[in-house]
């Protein structure tokens, strides 16, 4: 199992790539968790890259992957309020 933590502040697509490169290699892990601390904020371009199966497939070859919002239902700058995430 690998956990990739997003730091406080904004993460755009470039920052997402830096975070993924600096994290423990998730290749061939059974489970990968992406953790978002209370002050994490993710730009739309990074969210799309993270959630797009084709984009993430080249970087994360896990059987299961999860998003963990430390803020709970209101985590990551209201991302949970969008129509596509419940």
Q: Which string of DSSP letters, residue by residue, matches the chain?
A: -EEEEEPSEEE-HHHHHHHHHHSPP-TT-SEEEEEE-TTEEE-HHHHHHHH-HHHHHTT---SEEEEEETTGGGHHHHGGGSTT--
For the chain, what percent of residues have pLDDT higher than 70? 66
What CA–CA distance (Å, rounded) separates 17 from 49?
A: 10
Parse the chain into domains and list their residue ranges.
2-73
Q: What is the mean pLDDT of residues 81-85?
A: 44
The CA distance from 84 to 4, in Å, is 23
pLDDT at position 53: 55
Instruction: Express each pLDDT in 2-37 by its tens digit.
Output: 888 999 999 999 999 898 888 876 666 778 888 998
On whether the pTM is more than 0.75, the answer is no
Residue 41's closest CA among 83, 11, 82? 11
- pLDDT band for position 69 (cuts 50, 70, 90): confident
| Average pLDDT across the chain, whole number | 76
Please tell me the predicted confidence (pLDDT) of residue 75: 61
């Amino acid at each position: 199992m690998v956990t990739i933590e997003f730091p406080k502040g904004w993460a755009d697509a470039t920052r997402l790539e830096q975070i993924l490169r600096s994290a423990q290699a998730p290749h061939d892990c059974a489970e990968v968790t992406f953790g978002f601390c209370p002050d994490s904020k993710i730009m739309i371009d990074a969210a799309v890259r993270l959630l797009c199966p084709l984009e993430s497939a080249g970087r994360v070859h896990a059987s299961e992957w999860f998003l963990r919002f430390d803020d709970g239902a209101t985590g990551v700058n209201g991302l949970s309020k969008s129509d596509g995430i419940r």
